[in-house]
Structures are given as C-alpha cells and as structure tokens.
Amino acid sequence: MRCLTIIAFVYILRDGGAYGKTRRSEILEQETRLAVGGNTNLTEREDAVNNCLMQAKFRECDYGFTNPQFFNFSHHYFSYKEIIKHSKVYRMIKDIPKGAALHVHDMAMLIPDYLLNVTYMDYLYVCFEQNTVKLRFSKAAPKDTCAIKWQLMKNARKHSGDIEKFDEKLRKHFTLVCDHPDETYPTIKESWDTFLGYFGTVAPMLSYRPVWEQYFYDALKAFREDNIMYVEVRSVLPDLYELDGTTYDPVVTAKAYKKSIKRFMKDYPDFLGAKIIYAPSRLVDRQQLGVYLETARRIKKEVPEIFAGFDLVGPEDQGNPLIEFVPQLEEAGKDLNYFFHAGETDWYGTLTDDNLVDAILLGAKRLGHAYALPKHPILMEEVRKRDIGLEVNVISNAVLSLVRDVRNHPLALFLAQGLPVVLSSDDPGVWEADPLSHDFYVAFVGVASRLSDLRLLKTLALNSLKYSALDDADKINAVDKFNQRWNDFIVNFNCSKY
Amino acid sequence: MRCLTIIAFVYILRDGGAYGKTRRSEILEQETRLAVGGNTNLTEREDAVNNCLMQAKFRECDYGFTNPQFFNFSHHYFSYKEIIKHSKVYRMIKDIPKGAALHVHDMAMLIPDYLLNVTYMDYLYVCFEQNTVKLRFSKAAPKDTCAIKWQLMKNARKHSGDIEKFDEKLRKHFTLVCDHPDETYPTIKESWDTFLGYFGTVAPMLSYRPVWEQYFYDALKAFREDNIMYVEVRSVLPDLYELDGTTYDPVVTAKAYKKSIKRFMKDYPDFLGAKIIYAPSRLVDRQQLGVYLETARRIKKEVPEIFAGFDLVGPEDQGNPLIEFVPQLEEAGKDLNYFFHAGETDWYGTLTDDNLVDAILLGAKRLGHAYALPKHPILMEEVRKRDIGLEVNVISNAVLSLVRDVRNHPLALFLAQGLPVVLSSDDPGVWEADPLSHDFYVAFVGVASRLSDLRLLKTLALNSLKYSALDDADKINAVDKFNQRWNDFIVNFNCSKY
C-alpha cells in the first residue's frame, strides 16, 4: 500500500494526548503546507509586496469580520461589483500577472457595451418580440421567423425617438446584471433561463463571420489587458454566415479562430496564444454526439495547433449525463483530449453528480467547475493522483445560483486540500466582470483563508500554465515568460500607488 | 506509518488507465461504504420500510431536480417549514426512533406558544420598551430598570382592548419566524441580533424557579413525543429566583434540573434521562472563566449523575477564542469533559476558525457545529482518529445565516467522509421546529445524497447514543432500548399509513 505524501501528513501527528503548543503549531503548519501555495517560498522583494497586499487584505477581512452586515462576499455579486474598484487588494490583483484563463465561453467574454457597439454596425436586423430580441446581420430582411417584423437596427434606433433609452433597453439583453439580484434570480431556474436567453440573443449576431473574427480578437485584447497571457476558450463553434446568407460549417469557425489568433499574436507578440476546446451542447442524442465527435476530429486535423480538445456544455442538470455517451466518448478518447464540465451542481447523488466519476474515468485532463467534488472523497483522491486540473469559477457559481455566500464555495476546500486548482471566469462578459481579476479578487478575499497570501496568487497563476493544453516545450516557454513578467511586477511594485 | 482503513480505500484503486465499468462501480461502492451508514446492513423487514421511505424521498428529490424553483431546501427554512408536514418522508421520520438530542440550549427547546402560555401565569410583570419587552415574575413591581413602567401582565393584557392582537404581538418576541426571512435577516448580524434578543427576553421569565422546573419537564415531554429517548442540554445555568426576590446560585439551577429529570423519569420510565452541559458565555475575561470553571467543578460534585461537562456559548465570531483560555482549560480538563462549540463560522483563517484546533487539542469529546471543519483537512483526520462526535445543526446554521441553500452545508461532506456525525437541533423552539424531526428531515432530503437511505437514519440515531456522555453501562442499556424501539417501529411500519 502506497501512501501519498500529502496524506502522510496526517500520520505525522502523534497519538491523542494533552494539549501542547508544539502540537498546535505543527498542525497549523501542516495545514499551511498542504494548502495551495503552501510550498512556495517568496524572495525578499516578494515579501515586501506580500506585506503591502496582506495589510490591505487584513483590513478588508477584518472590517467584514467586525461588521458582517457589510461584508460584500456574503451578498450577491451584483450588489458589490461596482465598488470592487475601490478595493486596494483588487487594484493590486489587477496588476498581477495571472497566467492563463482556461475556462471561458467564447460568446460571453466581452461586456454588454461591446455588444451594444456591435449593434451599431450596418446590415444588422432586429426583431423585437415579447421579452426577447432577435438579431441577425443580413443584406435583406432575414427569413427567420419573427412575431412582429424584422427591421434594420439603424432604423429602429432612429425611429425610437430616444436613442439613449433605446440602447439602455437593448443593453439589458446583453447582461445578467440587475439592481435587485435576489429578487430577480430567486433560484437557479431564473438565473439559468436568463443566462440561456443571453446566448440565444447574441449567438446569431456574433456568428456573422466578420463580427466573429473581430470579437475574439477584441476578447483576447481585453484578456491581455487584464494581465492574462494565454487563453483556452470553449466554443460551440456555431455555423458562421455572410450577409448574403452563405453559412459555413464548424471547421470554418475553427479556422476563423486560427485567423484571429494569428492576427492578434502579430499585433501583440508578448501574448502566448490561445486554443479552442470544442464544446457543443450536451442536450443531444447519441447520433448527434457522433456528429460532434467527428467534427472534433476534423478540426483537430485541420487546425491542430489551436485545438485543445472536447467538452459538452449546457445546464448540466438538464443535459444528458456523460454515462449516456460513455462508449462513444471512450472510443473517441483515443484521439481527443477531454476537458469535461462535471459536477456543476448542488444535487448530491444524482446523475449530474455522477458526471464527476465518468469525466475522471474518461481521462479528462481538467474538470470544468467540479463544484460537487468535495462530496466525493474517493474521487477527490483520484483527482489528486491523476493530477487533474480543477477549473473553478467562483463568480459564475454565485451568479448561476449554486451558492450565495461564497465563503461556502468548495474552492475553499480545494485550496485547503492543495488540489490542482486553476481559477477562471466562465462568462465574465455576461456579469460584467473583469476577464479574470474579479474572480481572483473574490477568491482571494472572499473564499480563501484570511491568511492566504501572495504565494496563493502566484501558485494559481502558475497552475493555469501547468494545467493548460500547451505542449511541453510551449509550457516551459510560457512559465519562463510568466516568471519574467512576474519579476517585472515585483520589481516595479510600488505600494503607495494603490 | 499506519494507514487508517478508511483512507486505505483510496489505494485500493488501481493506477490510472482507461475507463472501465468495473472501476466505476468500485469507486461508487467505495464511496457508499465510506459514507455514514455505509456499513449498516438492513434486515428484510427494514428493507421493506426502506423501499417505502426511498420511494417517497425519490419523489421529493426528483420533483425538485426537475423543478428547481420549487425545491424547498434552496430557500430559507421559514419559507417552507409550514408545508413540511405534508411530506411523506417527514411523517415517516417523525415516527422513527431518533435516539438522542445532544446539542440543544435549554431556554430554546419549546415553541413560542408554550412561552405565551407562561405569560398567563400570575405574578408576571411586563415592561414594554421601544422594541423589546422585559418580563419578570415578582410579588411586587420589579426593581429592574424599565423605560416606561412595570405592570402586571394580567392587567396589561386586559387593558390592551384586544387580547388576541396583544398576544400575537407578544408572541413575536418568542420566535425568529417571520414572513419575509430574506428581507428580515439579510445577514448574520440581523439574525444573531434577533436571536440574542430572544434570550434576553425569555431568560428572566424562565428563571423563575417553578417555571424553570416545569419548562424543562415539558421540554423533555416534547422531545420524547418526537421519539427522542435521551437529551443532553446546554445551560448557562442562570440564577433562579423566587417571587420575593430570593435568588440562588447556578448549583441550585443544576439541582433544579436533577429534580425535573427525576420527576420526568418517574412519569415516563421509558425515557433514558438527561444530562446537562454547563455552558456559560464566552464573552468573559479569564477571571470570570475561572469562576465558571469552579462552578462547573461544584456542580460535578453536587449532581455528578446529571453532569456531562463544560462548554462556552455565544456568538463565536464575537466571543473570545478558546486560545485565550487555554492554560485554564487545560488545567480544568483534568476534571471536566469538554463539549466545545467550535467552528460555527464562515470566517476561514480567523481566530474563530482556530477554535477547532484548540477544542480538539483540549480533548473535546464532541464539537458543537464544527461547521468550518472541512476547511481543515488535518483536523478532519484528527476528528476521525480521536473519534470526536460532530454535533451538526443544519436548520440552526441556515436560520443563523451561515448558509442559505442547505445543499452547501458541510454536513454533506461529513456524511460522505463517514465522520462521527450526530444530528441535533440547537434551538428548535426559536424557529418553531420539531425537537429533532425537522432537522432529520432537512438533513435527509436536503443535504444528504439522494441515495442515502434508512441506513443513514439508523446510523445517525445510533451515533447519538454512541457519542453521548452516558457511561459505558448506560450506553449499552441505551442501545438495547433503542434497538427494541427500532424493531417495534420496523415491525409495526405500515407504508400506506403515510
């Protein structure tokens, strides 16, 4: 029987007995070392940065501890997102090199104002229905059904009489943010319905080929500005189309990615690149899954340099569990790397919950969310043993109603257990969050231990490269580049700036 | 290096490799066996009961899974407590022998209607202030300060003009239940303020010696009727008083307990008894703690047969952490058994959080709440190794704002890990819950795995005896009696009755 080093900590403890100060510090020390970042040593300069950071963090935490009614993280993210910018900790985190974003959905990377701008482009048609709005670029009025009538957005806006009000109303379709989130989204039903509505609205607009290519270029720009150096994006790879109605197949969409990435890398050579994870809907039958897997293989063949692997998306509780597709996925696993969403659920002991065991046994390189993992101690050890990256998206889980007070988010346990965590942001545009800084901030101050410090942030950033789909050589290069940037950050750090 | 059997499960797993059906069922089987109740075998008759129970549980869970907006346990307890009685699962749980309640606070065991009845007793004086009400039994008007004036409750009620309205208003001081809990208790501040206000209101009324003695007798009656056979009650042991103003010291209060218990046992010889845990406020200095510990020793000497041990109570985030008192508590630990509240907090990495390590190292026999334990993997293994009972109070933690959706309650992880859990109800009277059945129901349907069944319920009931402060002989007797009652329940079970 082989015992893992991590577990071995447990047995270093002497047998039960009287209280001892040494014993106490041993235990606390063991917990510190076991936690994510616990084995990272800081240089003298890093220590100085850390002191500045922790002074600010302690101030925030301790104010909340003494005045719990004002502790932001016990409330809905929407109720405090606007004041985050006043946080000193946040402003430092913003400047910290954060490595990679490994779990983001392509059509949800940019904020509503960006999408609103897109609606100012020529040839965009709009159809206003009861509670929804349909959008599509076209030379002539689109043929898609419309309860009332298709009109050019330009005309609709002009004839609205009040452009500001018109845009304000339109913008609401591009965001989940609202004034009274607890009332607007009392349960997961309301938040997911609105969330799926968002994609229904924006997908047809963004799938217009030139918009698609520009959107991703601009998304990378926004992510780079948030001090992210590499991105892995999940995409349903929608059929792109032209103004004349020509539509393409998903391989063309993948190629459009390649083109955008290439252009971006040329303009920003310090950026390390991006890869795609083909992630179509899980709400399909086996036959359709077969089509998806075939498409994945074709994409891998056509654009191998940007293809990371395969996943299935959609509301996990409603979609098919992985077990439904095991034989097909097992077979395709010989060609494809998996990055499955798994355990994005509060439902313990259900088929959704079982996705964790199947994702792990299917050899997933990383798990999307893995929110339910702590309810599965054996699987937790499998994750550790197989070194499977856990893509944690705290704000997403809060906004999409898995948890209210983020101090109850399982990330706290993953960090405590020293599991291979990477932080990501899922769909930051939809909740008007920073590409990654808001998630780092909420995780650092709201979820992690009060005592977790710069070592945690550095380890999380490094984890995002370690658990990326970059090949070994690129990974080494990425870590090198990261270390340079990290050192620049440390050397140029000025506490009084914040 | 000695590896625990439980941990050993982890290593039974073969090394990483392709997906295998056998492997999958191995993992699921290991998780089932590791979980609380996983090693319990059911008889054929128990199996039949289990089928009936699980059919009802599946119906409830699956309805919620399909209609998450109507899943009660994602909402505040107050929003669904009235409809619990319609649940078939609940009605069965009500009838199931549940063993012991090991974590309840004496002045919060009975519902507001009981307290309202007490206000009909002679010699009760009342003082209505801004938002509070003061109550005290006395021959003449009490001398305690009163912003307006002390008057006999009888007269105040008579002169109110509308007795029903008067009582309805008065009753509000005896409960936390309200119509819009999310608005009334947006954070832990509001819920705890109201909660502490409750004790401030009722303590002076209940400390009238005859009321005190009767209250606990009636509390035991209510608990017995909820199929509980033994109780350990935490008490601040307030100074009891007589109508003429005579007051006694805490030892007399302890003796009053002995008297009530004796009387109750005579009237209900099938009941196994009750013990007290002396649990004064943690908001004190070392000198006062010294007084408390001395009192504890005196009580142990005077009424050893009902004295279980010592604890400290009050809002844990605000009170002194245990570390403040370690030398004193270490010394007193030679004479006293400890049952410390520890980790009843969402604050990770704070002094409150550290109470867990100190409670464990001080040799606590059980931990009250231990809500924060999963954030401490090394301590979690200490709990397992030292076999420390975890007193979990799900509804309390929800009402007192630690968690909203109980599916995020750490109990799920304790159950999954097979830790020594006992369920209790903390202050059921204050939230108008059953003595224990509501907590069992919420834990069983709202927190535990959908697949957890009668084996879980039976194990939880047995745990409550195993981790009680009964001595070995009494424990054997208790388990015997429990088994008889359990068998009666199984033999007489009639599925169609529910």
Q: CB neighbours of A324 closer than 8 A, spacing ≥ 6? A: A286
pLDDT, position B448: 98
In single-letter form, the type of residue at position A236 comes to: V
Q: Which of residues 323-362 of B touch A (CB under 8 A)?
A: 326, 330, 333, 346-350, 353-354, 357-358, 361-362
The stretch B392-400 carries a mean pLDDT of 98
CA distance A100 to chain B (A): 26
The 10s digit of each residue's pLDDT in B221-237 is 999 999 999 999 999 99
Q: What is the mean pLDDT of residues B164-178?
A: 98
pLDDT for position B20: 76
Any CB–CB contact under 8 A between A23 and chain B? yes
Q: Looking at the predicted structure, is the pLDDT value of residue B117 above 80?
A: yes
**CATH code 3.90.1150.10 for A90-110+212-486:** no
The one-letter amino acid code at A334 reads K
What's the fold here for domain B88-110+209-487? TIM Barrel (3.20.20)
Q: B65-107 pLDDT, tens per residue?
A: 999 999 999 999 999 999 999 999 999 999 999 999 999 999 9
Task: Using a CB–CB cutoff of 8 Å, tell me whether B5 touches chain A.
Answer: no
Catalytic site positions of A: 344, 369
Q: Does A19 sit within 8 Å of B326, measured CB to CB?
A: yes
Please indicate if any CB of chain A lies within 8 Å of the CB of B186.
yes
pLDDT, tens digit, 9 for 90 and up, residues B5-38: 444 344 344 434 467 789 999 999 999 999 999 9
* Alpha carbon distance A293, A149 (integer Å): 38
Confidence (pLDDT) at B13: 41
Give the pLDDT confidence of A178-196 residue by residue, as tens digits.
999 999 999 999 999 999 9
In this structure, are residues B460 and B37 in contact, taking their beta carbons and an 8 Å threshold?
yes
d(CA B437, CA B456): 14
Task: Report d(CA B429, CA B108) in Å as an integer.
Answer: 5
As a whole number of angstroms, the distance between CA A212 and CA A205 comes to: 9
pLDDT at A10: 40
* Amino acid of residue B365: K
Using the Cβ of B2 and the Cβ atoms of chain A, whether some distance falls under 8 Å is answered with yes
Q: Are A369 and A392 in contact (CB under 8 A)?
A: yes
Q: Do A408 and B19 touch (CB under 8 A)?
A: no
Contact between A115 and A205 under an 8 Å Cβ cutoff? The reply is: yes
A449-469 tens-digit pLDDT: 999 999 999 999 999 999 999
Question: Per-residue b/e over A217-229, b at no fewer than 16 CB within 10 Å?
Answer: bbbbbbbbebbbb
Which of B361, B400, B453 to probe the A interface (max A CBs under 10 A)?
B361
CB within 8 Å: B357 and A16: no
Q: How far is CA A343 from CA A324, A369, B210, in A?
A: 16, 7, 55
pLDDT for res A259: 97
How many other C-beta atoms can be found within 10 angstroms of the C-beta atom of residue A294? 11
Task: Say whether pLDDT at B49 is over 90.
Answer: yes
**pLDDT recorded at residue B18:** 65
| Rounded Cα–Cα distance for residues A276 and A310 (Å) | 9
Which member of A69, A353, A375 has the closest CB to residue B413? A375
Out of B1, B74, B403, closest to residue A408 by CB:
B403
- Report the alpha-carbon distance of residue B249 to residue B238 in Å, rounded: 8
Integer CA distances (angstroms), B192 to A392, B196, B407, B429, in order: 32, 6, 22, 15
- Compare all CA atoms of chain B with the CA of A359 and give the residue at the minimum distance: B19
B389-392 vs B133-137, strand pairing mode = unpaired
Distance of CA B333 to the CA centre of its chain: 24
Segment B123-148, tens digit of pLDDT: 999 999 988 999 999 999 999 999 88
DSSP track, A80-100 = HGGGGGG-HHHHHHHHS---E
Where exactly are the structural domains of chain B? 1-34, 88-110+209-487, 114-174
Flag if A1 and B1 touch (Cβ within 8 Å): no
pLDDT score for B6: 40
For chain A, residues with pLDDT lower than 70 are 1-18
Average pLDDT over residues B267-295: 97
d(CA A304, CA A282): 24
Sheet holding B274-278, edge to edge: B100-105, B230-235, B274-278, B307-310
- Gap between the Cα atoms of B85 and A435, Å rounded: 47
d(CA A278, CA A308): 8
CA distance linking residue B59 with residue B73, whole number of Å = 15
The answer, yes or no, to whether residue B394 has pLDDT greater than 80, is yes
Q: What secondary structure does DSSP assign to B59-72, as a single string?
A: HHHHHHHH-GGG-G
- Tell if the CB–CB gap between A189 and B69 is shorter than 8 Å: yes
d(CA B457, CA B475): 19
Q: How many residues belong to chain B?
A: 498
Q: What is the mean pLDDT of chain B?
A: 95
Q: Any chain B CB within 8 A of the CB of A302? A: no
Interface contact B18-A330, CB threshold 8 A:
yes
